[in-house]
């Protein structure tokens, strides 16, 4: 076992020994290997460098399986797996490097020929996350969005491999699938707070987490019906760690630093100095929104691990798979479909951990709640666009006009309205807890607003300004937006001085069409835009092998 005396490898080694395996605890550091194996009959220290001498060591020892827990796997190649195949040994790793795990299939033919199983990503992601997601998606016709969140006790995340993995993508672009198209996020940004609750257990509140790069961002959209948007957020239980990483991500994003990877040793030391502030509690959750027939459903699987047992979770998949390797079909694949949630729960039941699945019916989308039965009478492209399920989007074209009054130009700049002219347009709508975040991208110029139903009106938020609209159904199967109220902060303002914002939506030639204008008393036109969007029905995707 490479990295067998490390944070996660050590746990896998002990589990393997307890299961009756004789384990060669391998790595470059002889002192650490001997110290780890002291007093354990089935743990045998073995010094080897994965970059030199591994092939010869495998030929000599002829192991049943090689488990790679050394990491980090970001930017690594598959030389270790290839060496295992050449030696006729099964191979399992605990990689969470996105490209590393997602490209393991290129070894499939060689693994089949050698008659061995090659499994990559036998860790929390994608093995556990894949098993949970499969359970949550059962019976759904389509899935709109998946959010995976990990909040670890910092006492189990202090290793150099973990730090190197995090810093490898800190502040770097992360490929996402959002709004029905490829999008970009940034490593350890999008900082958010999350709560973790399991009935009968003290909850974990307001844990900070940021965007991280993992294989699931590629694997799950391809595997789940509807090709959903997928996000993964991670953090430790120490706020200082998360805020520090967020701050450090900006110089990398702004290209002041090429990479933060050179700070690995410093990060490990800083982490060690602040570990005393951490708890012994970790949490992992998967939230999925989908649809079964006409029912809109949210399902959440939440796990809370106590007594510092959080670091055991990433070791479970490899330990379970080790005992099943002879029963697996030869070939190379990721671990996202290798196990079921029942496999994990059987082991978790013997640990100080609690978990539960919650399901609830989701309310109708905001436009549907405002329009009531009229929503079903909308033209199909208009209705389809507003039937948001977690995350949706559409692309098209728009023509923008801008007012010439200096005040109008200032307001347009403040709200980041697009410049005059014809633009490629993409609109992304993200839904959570009955609120919709609309991001309109006019050829790279974006502006955003938040919409929700309140008091029978569609209320749109632009910062401190809020506008309440009625949505009468048009004779053509379209709708109009008629302003009924507006507010500045908590203060309701008279309609006589309100902006004029006539807006209309309709269907034409199978497209969603729109015409929006915003004007102010005494100032005149601020911005107007009209155009169309192609709204494609969400098709059920075929699972990848």
Residues near 398 by beta carbon (within 8 Å), at least 6 away in sequence: 418, 422, 423, 425, 442, 529, 530, 531, 532
Q: Is 131 found in the same domain as 97?
A: no
Of 74, 89, 120, the last residue of a domain is 120
Q: Is 152 found in the same domain as 75?
A: no
Q: How many helices (H) and strands (E) does the chain have?
A: 16, 26
Q: Round to whole Å and give the CA distance between 281 and 154.
A: 9
Q: Is 470 found in the same domain as 383?
A: yes
H or E segment and range at residue 44:
strand 43-47
**Does residue 258 carry a pLDDT above 80?**
yes
Q: Round to whole Å and give the CA distance between 157 and 7.
A: 8
Cβ(130)–Cβ(96) under 8 Å?
Answer: no
Number of domains in the chain: 3
Give per-residue pLDDT as tens, 472-515. 999 899 999 999 999 999 999 999 999 998 899 999 999 999 99
Assign 470 to helix, strand or coil: strand
Q: Are strands 117-120 and 90-93 parallel, antiparallel or unpaired?
A: parallel
Q: What is the mean pLDDT of the chain?
A: 92
Q: Round to whole Å and give the CA distance between 476 and 450.
A: 27
What pLDDT is stored for residue 544 in this prediction?
33
CATH number at residue 482: 2.40.128
What pLDDT is stored for residue 543 in this prediction?
35
**79-86 vs 54-61: helix crossing angle, rounded to 10:** 30
H or E segment and range at residue 123:
none
CATH number at residue 143: 3.30.360.10
What pLDDT is stored for residue 513 in this prediction?
97
**Does residue 216 carry a pLDDT above 70?**
yes
Burial of 218 (0-12, 13-18, 19+ CB in 10 A): buried
Asked, for residue 333, whether it belongs to a domain, the answer is no
What pLDDT is stored for residue 274 in this prediction?
65
Cβ(336)–Cβ(121) under 8 Å?
Answer: yes
Please calculate the CA angle 123-128-132 and round it to the nearest 5 degrees: 170
Q: Is 210 found in the same domain as 107?
A: no
Query: Which of 384-398, 457-471, 474-488, 529-543 comes out lowest in average pLDDT?
Result: 529-543
Q: Round to whole Å and give the CA distance between 324 and 490.
A: 61
Assign 45 to helix, strand or coil: strand
- For residue 287, what are the domain limits? 124-309+340-361
Token pair 């707070």 in the structure block, residue? 193
Asked, for residue 324, whether it belongs to a domain, the answer is no
Q: Is 47 found in the same domain as 147?
A: no
Q: Round to whole Å and give the CA distance between 427 and 120.
A: 36
Q: Is 230 found in the same domain as 207?
A: yes
What pLDDT is stored for residue 75 in this prediction?
87
Burial of 258 (0-12, 13-18, 19+ CB in 10 A): exposed
Question: Which position has the higher pLDDT, 265 or 495?
Answer: 495
Q: Is 302 found in the same domain as 284?
A: yes
The percent of residues in the chain predicted with pLDDT above 90, rounded, is 81
Q: Is 279 found in the same domain as 261?
A: yes
| Local structure of residue 124 (DSSP, 8 states) | I
Assign 55 to helix, strand or coil: helix
**Does residue 539 carry a pLDDT above 60?**
no
**Does residue 459 carry a pLDDT above 50?**
yes
What pLDDT is stored for residue 277 in this prediction?
66
Of 361, 393, 421, the last residue of a domain is 361
Cβ(142)–Cβ(226) under 8 Å?
Answer: yes
Q: Is 96 found in the same domain as 49?
A: yes
Q: Is 356 found in the same domain as 384?
A: no
**Does residue 53 carry a pLDDT above 90?**
no
Q: Round to whole Å and give the CA distance between 125 and 100.
A: 13
Q: DSSP for 301-367, please give it.
A: EEEEE-TT-GGGHHHHHHHHHHTTGGGSPSEEEEGGGT--HHHHHHHHTTSSEEEEEEEEEPPPPHH
Query: Which of 40-44, 137-141, 436-440, 534-538 comes out lowest in average pLDDT?
Result: 534-538
Give per-residue pLDDT as tens, 374-410. 999 999 999 999 999 999 999 999 999 999 999 999 9
Q: Round to whole Å and give the CA distance between 375 and 455.
A: 17
Asked, for residue 82, whether it belongs to a domain, the answer is yes
What pLDDT is stored for residue 161 in this prediction?
79
CATH number at residue 37: 3.40.50.720
**Average pLDDT value for residue range 1-18:** 91
What pLDDT is stored for residue 238 in this prediction?
87
The percent of residues in the chain predicted with pLDDT above 70, rounded, is 96
**Does residue 468 carry a pLDDT above 90?**
yes
Give per-residue pLDDT as tens, 274-311. 666 678 899 999 999 999 999 999 999 999 999 888 88
Q: Round to whole Å and give the CA distance between 17 and 40.
A: 9
Asked, for residue 330, whether it belongs to a domain, the answer is no
What pLDDT is stored for residue 308 in this prediction?
84
Residue 57 phi/psi, 5-degree rounding, is -65, -40
Assign 7 to helix, strand or coil: coil
Residue 227 zone, left/alpha/beta (φ > 0; ψ -120 to 50; rest): left
Q: Is 529 found in the same domain as 403?
A: yes
Asked, for residue 319, whether it belongs to a domain, the answer is no
Instruction: Give whole-number Cα distances, 464 to 44, 158, 469, 494, in Å.
Output: 65, 42, 17, 16
What pLDDT is stored for residue 540 in this prediction?
33
Asked, for residue 335, whether it belongs to a domain, the answer is no
Residue 392 zone, left/alpha/beta (φ > 0; ψ -120 to 50; rest): beta
Q: Round to whole Å and give the CA distance between 227 and 159.
A: 35
How many Cα atoms sit within 13 Å of 406 on the Cβ side?
Answer: 0
Query: Which of 130-134, 206-210, 321-325, 533-537 comes out lowest in average pLDDT?
Result: 533-537
Assign 526 to helix, strand or coil: strand
What pLDDT is stored for residue 537 in this prediction?
57
Asked, for residue 322, whether it belongs to a domain, the answer is no
Asked, for residue 2, whether it belongs to a domain, the answer is no
Of 120, 154, 172, the last residue of a domain is 120
pLDDT band per the 50, 70, 90 thresholds, residue 327: very high
Q: Is 132 found in the same domain as 105?
A: no
Length of the chain counted residue by residue = 545
Burial of 201 (0-12, 13-18, 19+ CB in 10 A): middle
Q: Round to whole Å and give the CA distance between 352 and 467.
A: 50
């Amino acid at each position: 076992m490479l990295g067998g005396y490390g944070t996660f490898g050590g746990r896998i080694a002990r589990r393997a020994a307890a299961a009756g395996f004789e384990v060669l605890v391998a790595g470059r550091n002889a002192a650490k290997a001997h110290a780890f194996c002291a007093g354990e009959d089935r743990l045998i220290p073995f010094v080897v460098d994965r970059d030199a001498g591994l092939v010869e060591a495998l030929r000599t020892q002829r192991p049943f399986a090689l488990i790679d827990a050394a990491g980090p796997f970001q930017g690594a190649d598959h030389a270790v797996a290839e060496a295992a195949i050449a030696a006729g040994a099964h191979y399992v790793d605990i990689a969470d490097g996105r490209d590393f795990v997602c490209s393991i299939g290129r070894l499939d033919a060689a693994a089949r020929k050698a008659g061995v199983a090659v499994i990559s990503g036998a860790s929390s992601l994608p093995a556990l996350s894949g098993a949970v997601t499969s359970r949550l998606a059962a019976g759904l016709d389509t899935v709109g969005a998946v959010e995976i969140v990990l909040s670890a006790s910092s006492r189990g995340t202090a290793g150099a491999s973990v730090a190197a993995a995090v810093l490898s993508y800190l502040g770097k672009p992360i490929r996402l699938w959002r709004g029905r198209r490829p999008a970009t996020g940034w490593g350890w940004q999008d900082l958010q707070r999350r709560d973790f609750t399991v009935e009968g257990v003290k909850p974990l509140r307001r844990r900070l987490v940021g965007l991280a790069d993992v294989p699931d961002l590629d694997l799950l959209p391809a595997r789940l019906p509807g090709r959903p948007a997928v996000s993964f957020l991670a953090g430790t239980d120490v706020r200082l760690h998360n805020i520090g990483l967020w701050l450090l991500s900006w110089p990398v994003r702004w290209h002041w630093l090429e990479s933060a990877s050179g700070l690995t040793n410093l990060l490990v030391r800083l982490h060690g100095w602040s570990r005393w502030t951490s708890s012994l509690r970790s949490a992992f959750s998967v939230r999925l929104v989908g649809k079964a027939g006409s029912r809109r459903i949210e399902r959440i699987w939440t796990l809370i691990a106590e007594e510092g047992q959080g670091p055991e979770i990433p070791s479970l998949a490899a330990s379970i798979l080790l005992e099943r390797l002879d029963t697996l079909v030869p070939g190379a694949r990721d671990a996202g479909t290798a196990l079921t949630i029942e496999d994990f729960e059987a082991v978790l039941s013997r640990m100080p951990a609690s978990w539960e699945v919650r399901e609830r019916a989701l309310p109708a989308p905001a436009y549907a709640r405002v329009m009531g039965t009229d929503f079903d009478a909308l033209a199909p492209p208009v209705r389809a666009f507003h039937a948001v399920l977690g995350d949706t989007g559409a692309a098209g074209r728009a023509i923008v006009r801008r007012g010439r009054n200096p005040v109008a130009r200032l307001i347009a700049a403040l709200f980041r309205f697009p410049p005059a002219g014809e633009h490629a347009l993409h609109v992304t709508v993200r839904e959570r807890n009955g609120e919709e975040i609309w991001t309109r991208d006019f050829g790279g110029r974006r502006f955003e607003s938040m919409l929700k139903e309140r008091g029978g009106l569609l209320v749109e938020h632009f910062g401190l300004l809020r506008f309440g609209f009625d949505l009468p159904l048009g004779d053509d199967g379209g709708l109009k937006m008629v302003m009924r109220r507006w507010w500045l902060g908590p203060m309701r303002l008279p309609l006589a001085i309100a902006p004029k914002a006539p807006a209309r939506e309709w269907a034409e030639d199978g497209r969603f069409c729109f015409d929006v204008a915003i004007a102010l008393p005494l100032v005149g036109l601020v911005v107007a835009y009209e155009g169309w969007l192609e709204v494609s029905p969400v098709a059920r995707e075929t699972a990848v092998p």
